[in-house]
Amino acid sequence: MLRKFVIFILIVAVVGGAAFWVLSIPQTVPASELPVHTPDLANGKTMYLAGGCSSCHAVPRQDDRMRLGGGLGLKTPFGIFYVPNISPDRNDGIGAWNEADFVTAMVKGTSPDGRHFFPAFPYTSYQRMNYADVRDLFAYLKTLPPVQGKVRDHDVRFPFNVRRLVGGWKFLFVDGKSFEPDATKSAQWNRGAYLVSGPGHCAECHSSRNLLGAVESHLRFAGGPDFEEGGWIPNIRGKKMTEWSEKDMAYLLRTGMTPDGDSVGSSMTFVIRNTSQLSDEDLAAMAVYLKSLPIVEGAPRPEKK
């Protein structure tokens, strides 16, 4: 009986291991799936600003926010992830990448050498973007100055540093779906929903996460801990937001100022540097969408000690 039990356990382990290996294979977007496309650099810049690429990828402690040499350390419960160089430098950045490499990275979270990117890179949101916008963004990034310098390796403890395990994480939390417009909503609402949920990846910061680091869907946009500054990132769908008008929301995204005269702080100041350059139409669309979110009080904010 014991021998049969051991054989059964071995079979389960082999089958389970094989299933995990298949399910965790890094996915790619082949070049054959990308039709002929003429890049729109103006749209690429819009995606760059909506995505706030410079907020994370600009070289820290220097004024030129277009130098995307990376190096910023993102503190998380799993360790520190160091933001990579995405400048057009061919050796240290993404200058040697082709379009399929970039689209794959953005929507599948897979590197050109076939490894899983850690989800500190918010491809869980970028997967919502359409391929044309991603390709325009890539074209725009190639117009920026190349920056030399490799970024150091991540400082992440075992087992969270095992990239193959990220494949299992993706199986659980990355659905691979692009943004689908809601036919019952206006074109303005859908534009705002796309910018906020896709390139803007607002939920990546403004949400609480579960023990595995995935956004808790029922607390999406409802605020959460700020691991960088040790504070709390605001709930943007709480009762307080009912006091704001759509113009108030758009004004915040333009100026960083709240209706009561306060100003944003922490990393949000870098976000505003980018959103302040978006068109009035896009800011209004984002405001319409954000104001439409149902009220959720979210996780309780810890009391200051």
The pTM (predicted TM-score) of the whole model is 0.89
Query: In this structure, are 204 and 155 located in the same domain?
Result: no
Sheet holding 73-76, edge to edge: 73-76, 79-82, 155-156
Alpha helices in the chain (DSSP H): 2-23, 41-51, 53-57, 99-108, 123-126, 131-141, 163-173, 187-197, 246-255, 268-275, 280-292
How confident is the model at residue 224, as a pLDDT?
A: 82
User: Is residue 21 assigned to a domain?
Assistant: no
| 287: in domain | yes
Q: Residue 61, Cα to own-chain centre: how many angstroms?
A: 22
Residue 172 covered by a domain: no
For residues 250 and 280, give the distance between their C-alpha atoms in angstroms, rounded to a whole number: 8
Task: Name the CA radius of gyration of the chain, rounded.
Answer: 21
Tell me the sheet residues that pair with 74: 81
CA distance 42 to 129: 16
Q: Please check whether residues 153 and 277 belong to one and the same domain.
A: no
Q: Can you read off the two tokens belonging to residue 255? A: 């100026």
List C-alpha distances in Å: 72 to 57, 58, 164, 226, 284. Answer: 7, 8, 24, 15, 31
Cα distances (Å, whole numbers) of residue 183 to 180, 189, 198, 201? 9, 10, 18, 22
Query: Looking at the structure, do residues 159 and 183 belong to the same domain, yes or no?
Result: no
The answer as to whether 207 is a domain residue is yes
Q: Between vectors from CA 122 to CA 168 and to CA 255, what angle results, nearest 5°?
A: 160
Are residues 237 and 292 both part of a single domain? Answer: yes
Quick check: is 270 in a domain? yes
How far, in Å, CA of 33 to CA of 99, rounded? 11
Write the CATH number for 191. 1.10.760
Same domain, 151 and 34: yes
Residue 183 lies inside a defined structural domain of this protein: yes
Distance from C-alpha of 186 to C-alpha of 288, rounded to nearest angstrom: 10
Q: Which residues pair with 81 in a beta bridge?
A: 74
pLDDT attached to residue 195? 97
Confidence at residue 34, expressed as pLDDT on a 0 to 100 scale: 93
If one counts the domains in the chain, the total is: 2
Q: Is residue 173 part of a domain?
A: no
Residue 23 in domain: no
Rounded (5°) CA angle 220-208-280: 45
Output the pLDDT for position 145. Answer: 94
Same structural domain, 36 and 149 = yes
| Sign (positive or negative) of CA dihedral 191, 193, 199, 200 | positive
Which pLDDT score, from 0 to 100, does residue 268 have?
84
**What pLDDT does residue 240 have?**
81
292 and 191 belong to one structural domain = yes
Query: What pLDDT shows up at residue 6?
Result: 59
- The reply to whether 254 and 197 lie within a common domain is yes
* pLDDT at position 304: 58
Clarify whether residues 144 and 197 are in a common domain: no
**Same domain membership, residue 287 and residue 195:** yes
Same domain, 84 and 44: yes
pLDDT on residue 218: 86
Residue (of 126, 148, 155, 116) closest to 52 by Cα position: 126
Per the structure, the complete domain to which residue 262 belongs is given by 179-300
Q: Can you tell me which residue has the tokens 């904010």? A: 301
Burial of residue 93 (CB within 10 Å: 0-12, 13-18, 19+) is buried
Q: Which residues of the chain have pLDDT under 50?
A: none
Extract the tokens encoding 295.
Answer: 């009220």
Spatial contact of 122 and 204, defined as CB atoms under 8 Å apart: yes
Are residues 108 and 188 located together in one domain of the fold? no
CA dihedral (212, 213, 215, 216) in degrees, to 10, reads: 40
| Residue indicated by tokens 């014991």 | 2
